[in-house]
Chains A and B, each alone.
With several copies, the nearest count.
Chain A
């Protein structure tokens, strides 16, 4: 096994990987940008190296600096986490060339899956169902128009080099096509340095269900079942669950999806952790969407339900060990849900809300897992994704897991910035969600129908009372000379009366 591993990432995933490294008695090397000197992933690491200024293009995306850091610290392997360089075939190849183990698939597998059109072709060849669409990059909006004439609207424009909803646009009718094409191509150019797009028939109200895979370098592949990731905003997952309520209700569906995923992965010569994403239509048919050639953000819910440590398995496989699990060893128990706690305002178009965390109270107790990289007093930087933490819960059934997540969210308090904690509480109370009727437009429809998050009638007067008490305390520490003779307001009056009764 490796003695030292560098994590080419930041934030919660860097901390997540370090925890398993520490449990395996492997030294960890963090890398950090200017913005992240005080980040928890640097504080918790055994070793750390500065790799550049705050913009990720000058730090976390700098292959040369990451490899220099690995060589300088004598790291034998690099864990890429997710995002940043994790699906960069050039980076994987550079690691291979430098004699440093890349904890992920081969650069060749990444390259094959990185082109969404090539991945589609591979899925077709492997016998996995795919959504009708153009398998090659479009020359321009005109070509998309031809496709639309054959399959009709709505359709979906997607970046060939894409991921995470970047460079993706839904087109509902012909007049919108040109603008959508321009926006998507420009976003794809900015995000992936590649403006190429392809087109697919849009599946209405699809579910997004994915299969977790793990393979070793000896051709052995197993799946860890599915995760339902239909709760999305701006095409990004915000809440995931395992098992999928749909798959749990359909005997044989998990096995069918798992086998399809393994076939695609095998065709790509895949090893290490990977995830095959499927769209599932209202009839329950599933279609290959893409393969993510790295650990997913939402891997904890699979760990909770299967009892496996996916990062430990990644490390074992990357060190050349054969997978110690066969498919029969994978068993599923109970139900897990994850909420991605973001520094954002869900009621203002999910606008990011960086800033200083002035107070932080975390949920604890039975069945609660928290993976984060924040602490009280830390300032959420403006330079990166606003993910603060992943709150996951496990319980014996979906219903009790929902109840547990609600309980945990009520214990969670982050002051100083906006978060989406309350938003999750509302979703979890939603009847459609509870019935398991999920699809990728769920959040949009939910925002239309949601009832206001109105407080119980008694809370307003409590709030006034506390405000009065608080200001009295503040006033005591910095008294105003004229405060004593001021006529008491109604609220202050209430405050005094109640507090002194």
Chain B
């Protein structure tokens, strides 16, 4: 603790680290998922991907746009309306379906232009977070 410079890290609470580096004090808060470590410092979010136990890289933060895209429920909810049908051609940002959760309706939009190759979602059904609602190719 007595060194003049150099980083010095202490785990102060579960997932919370106090870092002293070059005289500056930082508090970093970590949330870990299966494949990445998310570090928050002063409200800023850093995603450190664990692609392989031996190799990590910092994620660019943007998902790829090419190829097949899944439209996924980002929270549990109820499908109140379908705005497209399987086989339809859609524009990027076009509304695909409406999900209601926590008393709020949300229109799920196409992440890119393409064709609806699968539409497992059904009106009136309840969906779980992470469930695939539509697939665009």
Contact = CB atoms under 8 A, between A and B. Distances in A.
A–B contact at 8 Å CB threshold (below): yes
Interface of A: 30, 34, 37-38, 42-50, 72-73, 187, 191, 234, 348-349, 351-354, 358-359, 375-378, 382-386, 409-410, 413, 415-416, 421-422, 425, 453-455, 458-460, 462-471, 473-474, 480, 482-483, 486-487, 489, 491-492, 498-499, 501
Interface of B: 1-3, 5-21, 23-32, 37, 39-44, 46, 48, 50, 53-58, 74-77, 101-106
Contacts of A378: 12
Contacts of A482: 53
Contact of A382 (B9, B27, B76): B76
A195 to B, nearest CB: 16
B18 A47 contact: no
A467 B57 CA distance: 11
A353 B75 contact: yes
Contact of B14 (A359, A383, A499): A359
- Secondary structure class of chain B's binding surface, majority of residues: strand
Contacts of B39: 463, 466-467, 470
Contact of A385 (B21, B44, B103): B103
Nearest to B24: A47
Contacts of B41: 455, 459, 462-463, 466
A486 B13 CA distance: 29
Contacts of B5: 501
Given A377-B13, A385-B102, A489-B54, A467 B26 contact: no
B77 A382 contact: yes
A35 to B, nearest CB: 10
7 contacts: A349-B106, A351-B74, A463-B41, A466-B41, A473-B11, A491-B48, A499-B8
Contacts of B53: 480, 482-483, 486
B46 to A, nearest CB: 4
Contact of A466 (B6, B19, B106): B19
Q: Pick from B43, B58, B76 the residue with the most CB of A within 10 Å.
A: B43
A228 B6 CA distance: 48
B7 A422 contact: no
Contacts of B103: 191, 384-385
A43 B23 contact: no
A34 B25 CA distance: 16
A311 B2 CA distance: 31
B106 A48 contact: no
A82 to B, nearest CB: 14
B1 A37 contact: yes
Contacts of A187: 105
Nearest to A412: B43
B25 to A, nearest CB: 4
Given A30-B25, A37-B1, A462-B41, A351 B9 contact: no
